[in-house]
Amino acid sequence: AWCARELGGRVTSVDHSAEKLALAAANLKRAGLDGFVDLECGDATEVIGSLEGPFDFVLFDSVQVQPHLQLGPLLPKLADDALVLADNVLSHPEGLAPFLAIIDAQPDFDRVVVPVGKGLCVAHRLAPSLAAAGMKRGRQLPNPAGLC
Give the list of residues 6+ apart from residue 94 with CB closer than 8 angstroms, or none. none
The tens digit of pLDDT for each residue in 57-70 reads 999 987 666 889 89
pLDDT of residue 141: 42
The tens digit of pLDDT for each residue in 75-93 reads 999 999 999 999 999 999 9
- Dihedral angle at the C-alpha atoms of 3, 130, 68, 17, nearest 10 degrees? 20
Other Cβ atoms less than 10 A from the Cβ of 132: the count is 8
Whether residue 129 is predicted with pLDDT greater than 80 in this model: the reply is: no
Give the list of residues 6+ apart from residue 140 with CB closer than 8 angstroms, or none. 110, 111, 112
**DSSP letter assigned to residue 16:** S
One-letter identity of residue 37: V
CA 148 – CA 16 distance, rounded (Å): 28
